[in-house]
Structure 1
């Protein structure tokens, strides 16, 4: 694929990510994705022959990889600081988007994971990668309860994001950061 094709594909993925995160799977139609991306209509099925499901699944996978990288890039040995940094990034995204862009996977998960196996698999893979990255950090910190603690921390992060979005303030994120610091 040439540079122009790669650019078009990236535009389509970026538009999809933004729209499904803000409006959910059902609130982001193909016409909106094409309009937002500025890509030619024919490019959609050229790059994503599986249509909307393939496009959304790849957007979820891309977003999931970015969050995993954020968890992985923090300094080893201090999981509490890594989680606080992640919560800060999420809080910044929420505020900058006027409380529309929280977790890049949660909105899609809530919309279609129960009924769409393709997208459910990508959502599950993203969450498994985040939990795995947290578990590895906690194991490096010497925690024997790393698996359980990673699941609890992920659940706390997701819950805090939901509450912050509902309340339109960062306080739930800050409270969870303090609680995680106390736990660790």
Structure 2
């Protein structure tokens, strides 16, 4: 039997995640990445230097360079990849109990919104990727990895839409992901589980309404 669209989308994500083996990452590198993400989400990316990072860890800057010879740029690239990998793994786990495309769609939305509200590094990931579009500070390898992940993530939404008998034009998926990525700016979450659940339920409803809305494409942008 041919795999469903959802199964194919999940398999593509698993294949993407398998390209890099994080099990061999040293504890020292993991500690540096965690400290970078913590400082950057708290104080802002621009406030983090090799000196401030070494101070946070109680290490000499030379010790950081022994783990990351490329300095801050290498740490940023590694942090982006590390977060992407963990996001992807946790996302797949959240989809395991989805028995139909409606549940799959809801799980995608609920996971994404939860991550944006509960993990500040999700906003940092978005910021770094957006900044690279202007400043081009990431390596080409990292840029390709980010682009591949975004395409695969979008394909998961498109797979659910297809199985629900809907197409998902590019402008609709852009609107949905922009809504979810910006959750920290519009969601009035008080930190309680009840408040979060209400936001998740509403987000699923809103994204489903966007899915079924015909939005005229801007001139020059094809439907897809």
Q: TM-score, with normalisation over the residues of structure 2?
A: 0.61
The structure that has the greater radius of gyration is 2
> Separation in 2 of the partners of 1:178 and 1:43?
50
Mapping of residues 75-114 of structure 1, within 5 Å = 75=96, 76=98, 77=101, 78-93=104-119, 101-111=121-131, 113-114=133-134
> Separation in 1 of the partners of 2:44 and 2:171?
30
Q: Which residue matches 2:184? A: 161
Q: Which residue matches 2:70? A: 50
Q: Which residue matches 2:7? A: none
Question: Segments of 4+ in structure 1 off by > 4 A?
Answer: 110-113, 146-149, 167-173
CA contact (8 A) 2:116 2:180 kept: no
Q: Which residue matches 2:207? A: 180
Q: Which residue matches 2:28? A: 8
Please report how far the alpha carbon of residue 147 of structure 1 lies from its aligned counterpart in structure 2 after TM superposition. 5.2
CA contact (8 A) 1:153 1:180 kept: yes
Q: Which residue matches 1:97? A: none
Please report how far the alpha carbon of residue 42 of structure 1 lies from its aligned counterpart in structure 2 after TM superposition. 2.4
Per-residue CA distance 1:141-161 (angstroms, 9 max, x = gap): 524326554433221111223
CA RMSD after TM alignment = 3.5
Q: Which residue matches 1:136? A: 156
**Counterparts in 2 of 1:18 and 1:111: CA distance versus 1, 3 Å:** farther
Per-residue CA distance 1:159-178 (angstroms, 9 max, x = gap): 223434xx775789925443
Residue 118 of structure 1 pairs with residue 138 of structure 2: yes
Query: Structure 1 residues 47-56 or 72-81, which shifts more?
Result: 72-81
- Which structure 1 residue ranges, 5 or more long, are not aligned? 95-100
> Separation in 2 of the partners of 1:123 and 1:15?
23
Q: Which residue matches 1:59? A: 79
- Which structure 2 residue ranges, 5 or more long, are not aligned? 1-24, 212-224
CA contact (8 A) 1:53 1:118 kept: yes
The aligned length equals 173
Q: TM-score, with normalisation over the residues of structure 1?
A: 0.72
